[in-house]
Amino acid sequence: MNRTCLAVILAAGDSTRMKSSMSKVLHPVAGLPMIGHVMKAVASAGISDVALVLGRDAETVAKAAHTDEVNVRSFIQTQRLGTGHAVLSARDAIAAGFDDILVTYGDAPLVTAASFAAARAELAKGADVVVIGFHTGTPTGYGRLLVENGELIAIREEKDATDEERKVTWCNSGIMAINGRKALEILDKIDNKNVKGEYYLTDLVEIVRRDGGRAVAVDAPEAELAGCNNRAELAVLERLWQERRRHEIMLSGVSMIAPETVFLAYDTQIGQDALIEPNVVFGPGVTVEGGAVIHAFSHLEGAHVSAGATVGPFARLRPGANLAVGSKVGNFCEVKKAEIGEGAKVNHLTYIGDAIVGAHSNIGAGTITCNYDGINKHVTQIGANAFIGSNSSLVAPVSIGDGAYVASGSVVTQDVPADALALGRARQETKPGRATIIRDRALALKAAKKAKD
C-alpha cells in the first residue's frame, strides 16, 4: 500500500483487574508479551511508525515493544480520561502528516496484519473513519455497529441501545483507522459531555458524519479481536493463539498426534514431515527441522533439532542444545549448551551440559558431564565414534578422543587419548559371608530400637 501510516498503540491502562505487579500488556502469550505480538502485527502490515501511549511501567513496556522494523516514539498519558484523550497524548506524532492513522491496543495479541490492511484499504477509498468490527453470538456488553446503506452511522453502547439495536450482532472491537490528514481536526472535536466526563474515541463516527464525512466498518474474526482484562481472559488468549498456530503448522506439513496437548512459543519453527507427539512444550527459540521426531512429554527451549533427529520421550533440551542430523537424545535426558554430533546417541537418564559430542558417539545411560565447579562452567569434549559406558562421570574440563572407550561406572578426570580405554573406578573386592554379618547386625539394631520404644 503506497500510503504512509502511523499506528497509535494504547498501552497506558492501570491493569487493576489483572491483579498483577506489572502492566497488563507485559503478560506473555506464547512466551511473548502481548505488546510484542501487537508490534509484530504492525510490522507485518508494513506500517513504518508507531506512537506508543504509555502509563504504568512505561520504560519496561517501551523496551518490550522495541523492534528494529518500526520507528517507535513513546508518549506518556498522565491522566486516564478515555480513549480519545489517550490517542491525543500522541498529538505530536499524529501531526507529522501521515496518510493513515491506525489506533489499536496493547492487549490485543491476536490481531493480524490482514485486519489492519482491510481498514486502511477503506481509507484509501475515501472513508474518514473505519472501525474494525466482529460478529458474535454473544454481543452482550459490546458496543453495536449500526449501519445504513453501507455506511456506519453510529456505535451504540449497550446501555444506550434500544431493544432493536441490542439485537445487532456486529460489535465494536475498539480498533479504528482514521484519515491522517483530518485526524487532529476531528479528534479535537471529541468532548467529555457524558456521565463519566471522559473523551470517547467512538464519538468520531458521529462527528465525521455530522461534518459531511464518511464512516464505515470492516469485519474481522471474533477470536482475532479478543482483548484481556484478567488472568482468565489471558488464558483464553493463550488457547486461541495456540489453536491458530498449531493449525498453521499442521497445514505446513507437520504431524501432531494430539495437537491440543502441544504448546508452541511465538517463534517456534517446525519443518515439513516432523512429528510432534503428545504433551510437548516448546519454549522460545526452538527450531525443529524436517523429519525430526519429538516424542511425548518433552520440553524444548532455545534448541535446534536437525533433520531426522529424535528427542525423548521425557527429554529436556535447554538453551544452546544443538542436535545434528540423525542424532538422538533419549528418554529422561537433559542437554544444555551442547553440540550433539551427527548420528550420536545420548541415551536414557543422562545429562550433557557445556559439551561437544562427536559424530556417531554413544553416551551410555546415567552418564553426566560434571561441568560446574560451583563458580565456573567447563567444557567436555568427546570425539567421534567414542563410547562412554553407563553411569560415567566426566569431570570437566576434560577431553575424550576419537574412538576412545570409557568403562562403565568411571569417574574421568584426565584426558583420554584417541582409541584408548579409560577405567576410572576402584577395583572390586568380594568378601564371602560378609553380607550375612551386616544383615544380622542391622536386624539386631532395629530390634533394639523397637524394644526401647
Active site residues: 348
Burial 103-141 (b: 16+ CB within 10 A, else e): bbbbbbbbbbeebbebbbbbbeeebbbbbbbbeeeebee
Q: What share of the chain is helix, strand, coil (3-state, %, to 5)?
A: 25, 30, 45
A 10 A CB-CB count for 154 gives 20
Q: Are strands 100-105 and 170-179 parallel, antiparallel or unpaired?
A: antiparallel
Cell of 76: 506518556
Three-state DSSP state, 311: strand
For 303-334, b where at least 16 C-beta lie within 10 A, e where not — what string? bbbbbbbbbbbbbbbbebbbbbbbbbbbbbbb
Question: Residue-wise over 192-218: b if at least 16 C-beta within 10 A, else e?
Answer: eeeeeeebbbbbbbebbbeeebbbbbb
Spatial contact of 105 and 227, defined as CB atoms under 8 Å apart: yes
* Amino acid of residue 36: G
Closest to 280 in 3D by CA, of 324, 234, 249: 249
Residues 269 and 180: their CA atoms lie apart, in Å, by 37
**Number of CB atoms found within 10 A of residue 182's CB:** 15
Residue 386 CB contacts under 8 Å (≥ 6 apart), including other chains: 358, 361, 362, 400, 401, 402, 403, 404, 405, 406
The answer to whether 175 and 225 are in contact (CB under 8 A) is: yes
How many residues are listed for the chain in this entry?
A: 453
Q: Quick one: DSSP state of residue 55?
A: B
User: Grid cell 553440540 — which residue?
Assistant: 339
Helix (H) or strand (E) holding 438: helix 434-452
The rounded distance, in Å, linking the Cα atoms of 342 and 328 is 9
Q: Spell out where 264-366 has E strands.
A: 269-270, 275-276, 281-282, 287-288, 293-294, 299-300, 304-305, 310-311, 316-317, 322-323, 328-329, 334-340, 345-346, 351-357, 362-363
Strand partners, 256: 276
CA distance 189 to 76: 21
